[in-house]
Amino acid sequence: MCGIAGIVRFDDQPIGRRRAEAMLTHMMHRGPDGYGVSEHSHCTLAHTRLVIIDKLGGSQPMHTPASGSANNAQSSDHGPLHLVFNGEIYNHRTLREKLSRLGHRFSSDHSDTEVLLLGYRAYGNQLPKHLRGMFAFAIWDENKRELFMARDRTGKKPLYISRRGSELTFASLPATIAAGYDEALTPDPEALLTFLQFGYPFGRSMLKGIDEVKPGHWLTVQPDGTTRTERYWRPPPISRTSTAIGAVDSVEQVLDEAVAMRLEADVPLGCFLSGGIDSSIIAALAQRSLKARGTKPLRTFSITHADAVYDESEQARAIAEHIGSDHTELRADPSDMFADLEHLMQTTGEPTADSGMLPSYWLCKTARPHIKAALTGDGGDELFGGYDRYRALALLAKHRWWLQTIPRSLVHGTEARSRRARLRRLLDAAALGPDPARQYGGMIHLFNQEQIGSLAPELIQGLAPEMIYDWPDEADPVQAAMRWDLAHYLPYELLRKADRSSMAVALELRCPMLDTQVVDLAGHLPTSVLMPDGRPKGLLRKLAARHVPASIVNLPKRGFSVPIGQWFRDTHNGTLSDYLKDPVLEELGMNPGAVSRYIQEHTSGRADHAHRLFALLQLSIWGRWLRQQHDGD
């Protein structure tokens, strides 16, 4: 797990080493165990290393001379090759054996980085199809003057690119790319609009001219600057005939293997245990695997809150006792919330409207002295139907005809988690018409069109009537929503948050639920199997019943969150107001009157604007960060 960056020029002008070193300095938080810069005429690569596997043999940038020792004809035109890599390849030992049989000679003992380097020599741009793991990497072919980049299937590891004039710059974070430019970058109005709509800017950065390599894609850059992108993976077609017979056994089998593969580490490793279904299953399978190996019990970690509504430590403790893990409870400290958000902005250069960034960061920060890698349950909701909004879509498909007749003014809730508030969101979606895409957009939006119109009137111009994009062509609206989340919400919000909160303290997160075989199996199953009788995550609950107490299996989903709304009403109200009154928000196009109205309505209890206020807080902090870039601080 690391930070990567690089610059490629398409002319004969030199690449200043100072720029590469500036990017290296910025991303040192991602890899404090080692670093390096290598220059290769038209390409300069930079890397910071977090050592997890092969402490001695995985230093980067990694190099291999032009092929000559390999007997594979495919490899004859590659090299010398130079690689920077962020991630983990869990099937690296199997690939090493295959490549050795092809005649490739390894110098390391068990480096997955070297497997990538020699794997590219053997398989070329087909290499990503052979990989099981999380990865973002770049390989420079010195003879061809060609750069090859690839990103894992679901977007666990980030990879940003920026094209300016006669060069292309890439890095793990937008702020790292910004550090490599002499001039300050500016906001992207379209990305800002998307941020207000959904809370994240999809497959681009909030900084103009910086985009992401899409998950499941590879990209090549030719000597003349021409780029070619190809998708190497897509979710499998949904079965029309699969039944629940054997489904639980199949899921357990692939998950068991995925967990076992992710237990390899040359450093202390643990598991985050929230008390929910997903992390409980992962922890139980990991503990079973370690017990079978005769090793020490799994170390599990949970975070405690003062607010009982958000505290799941009791459930986590019960699960840990049930499976026999070595459990540690860590205390969340919200007193430095604003300083933590400022720090995270410095490391990433981009806002997120998800306040779950805070508990994620606090958990990683407090667990880091104990471990360097942790298993998580990320991906379970998107793959196995865990969100209430999926059930809401199914209800709308059957009952919208009469739900739309209920006057929405009769139903109003001031707390987002309340039954009345959820019912109001269902009625609002019913009023949007029969199109599932519009209904879903109505359920997941941060600010709706009317709110954006008063908050940022210039941005609303040209906004399409639909608030959802790239809606999958699936007859079942629930399956369509799950596919949309897998392609958008998961990589561009949840996994971004996970990567940034963990790598801010140099902690690696591993996601067995997002293993290739697990994703392919879950993606193949119809809604009737994943959510029997419409029950969110019904299939996974059946699996959980085999491993954790029944009292845990039937608990409703709570999410990993903090009482941000209450904090904004009392504890942190004054500091929040100071941030939101900063002129930088108006410079970004926000109407001060509308911002003040959100504060007043929330503080008085007339409405729950917690998530909207957090988004505006993040924009304010981001605007301050941009101001520092312009000032050269």
Residue of 532, 221, 217 lying closest to 391 (CA atoms): 532
Query: What rounded mean pLDDT belongs to the chain?
Result: 91
Answer yes or no: is pLDDT of 407 > 70.
Answer: yes
pLDDT > 70: percent of the chain: 94
Return the SS3 of 64: strand
Q: Establish if 439 belongs to a structural domain.
A: yes
What residue type is assigned to position 171 of the chain? A
Sheet holding 373-375, edge to edge: 326-331, 299-304, 269-272, 373-375, 508-510
Average pLDDT over residues 437-455: 92
Cis, bond preceding 80 (omega within 30 deg of 0) = yes
Residue 87 and residue 13 share a domain: yes
For residues 239 and 254, give the distance between their C-alpha atoms in angstroms, rounded to a whole number: 18
Q: What is the pLDDT of residue 73?
A: 38
- DSSP H or E stretch at residue 160: strand 160-164
Q: What is the pLDDT of residue 70?
A: 44
Answer yes or no: is pLDDT of 472 > 80.
Answer: yes
Q: Establish if 593 belongs to a structural domain.
A: yes
Number of structural domains found in the chain? 4
Which of 527, 553, 579 lies at the terminal end of a domain, its last residue?
553
Answer yes or no: is pLDDT of 413 > 90.
Answer: no
Answer yes or no: is pLDDT of 630 > 80.
Answer: no
Q: What is the pLDDT of residue 302?
A: 93
Answer yes or no: is pLDDT of 130 > 70.
Answer: yes
Between 307 and 506, name the one with better pLDDT: 506
For position 544, which CATH number holds? 3.40.50.620
Q: What is the pLDDT of residue 67?
A: 65
Cα distances (angstroms) measured from residue 486 to each of 54, 154, 388: 32, 7, 16
- Answer for the pair 127, 120: CB distance below 8 angstroms, yes or no: yes
Residue 544 and residue 469 share a domain: no
Return the SS3 of 277: helix
Q: Establish if 238 belongs to a structural domain.
A: no
What residue type is assigned to position 140 of the chain? W
Q: Establish if 77 belongs to a structural domain.
A: yes
Which of 500, 528, 553 lies at the terminal end of a domain, its last residue?
553
Q: Which residues contact 1 (CB under 8 A, 6 or more apart)?
A: 30, 31, 50, 52, 86, 87, 88, 373, 503, 506, 508
Q: What is the pLDDT of residue 68?
A: 54
Which of 202, 231, 260 lies at the terminal end of a domain, its last residue?
231
Residue of 630, 617, 633 lying closest to 585 (CA atoms): 617
Residue 374 and residue 252 share a domain: yes
420, 424, 425, 430 alpha-carbon torsion, rounded to 10°: 140
- Answer for the pair 490, 352: CB distance below 8 angstroms, yes or no: no
For residues 152 and 43, give the distance between their C-alpha atoms in angstroms, rounded to a whole number: 23
Q: What is the pLDDT of residue 398?
A: 92
Q: Establish if 413 belongs to a structural domain.
A: yes
Sheet holding 227-231, edge to edge: 62-64, 81-89, 133-141, 146-151, 217-221, 227-231
Residue 498 and residue 582 share a domain: no
- Answer for the pair 276, 64: CB distance below 8 angstroms, yes or no: no
Cα distances (angstroms) measured from residue 109 to each of 93, 105, 115, 135: 10, 11, 11, 20
For residues 496 and 517, give the distance between their C-alpha atoms in angstroms, rounded to a whole number: 22
Max Cα–Cα distance, the chain, nearest Å: 76
Q: Establish if 334 belongs to a structural domain.
A: yes
Between 133 and 557, name the one with better pLDDT: 133
Q: What is the pLDDT of residue 463?
A: 56
Q: What is the pLDDT of residue 309?
A: 66
Q: Which residues contact 450 (CB under 8 A, 6 or more apart)?
A: none
Tokens of 230: 């190809």
109-113, 376-380, 475-479, 553-557: the lowest-pLDDT one: 553-557
Residue 37 and residue 120 share a domain: yes
Q: What is the pTM of this model?
A: 0.95
Q: What is the pLDDT of residue 74?
A: 46
**Helix/strand/coil percentages in the chain, nearest 5:** 45, 15, 40
Residue 172 and residue 157 share a domain: yes
Q: What is the pLDDT of residue 55?
A: 79
Residue 497 and residue 477 share a domain: no
Residue 493 and residue 402 share a domain: no
- Answer for the pair 384, 530: CB distance below 8 angstroms, yes or no: yes
pLDDT > 90: percent of the chain: 76
Question: Around Cβ 222, how many Cβ atoms within 10 Å?
Answer: 13
Q: What is the pLDDT of residue 484?
A: 97
Q: Establish if 40 belongs to a structural domain.
A: yes
Identify the band that residue 471 occupies on the pLDDT scale cut at 50, 70 and 90: very high
Answer yes or no: is pLDDT of 447 > 50.
Answer: yes
Identify the band that residue 271 occupies on the pLDDT scale cut at 50, 70 and 90: very high
Residue 164 and residue 21 share a domain: yes
Residue 259 and residue 134 share a domain: no
Between 372 and 633, name the one with better pLDDT: 372
Residue 112 and residue 19 share a domain: yes
- Answer for the pair 479, 527: CB distance below 8 angstroms, yes or no: yes
Answer yes or no: is pLDDT of 465 > 50.
Answer: no
Question: Around Cβ 107, how many Cβ atoms within 10 Å?
Answer: 10
Residue 545 and residue 439 share a domain: no
Residue of 310, 282, 53 lying closest to 300 (CA atoms): 282
Identify the band that residue 245 occupies on the pLDDT scale cut at 50, 70 and 90: very high
Q: Which domain holds residue 597?
A: 564-631
Answer yes or no: is pLDDT of 37 > 80.
Answer: yes
Q: Establish if 267 belongs to a structural domain.
A: yes
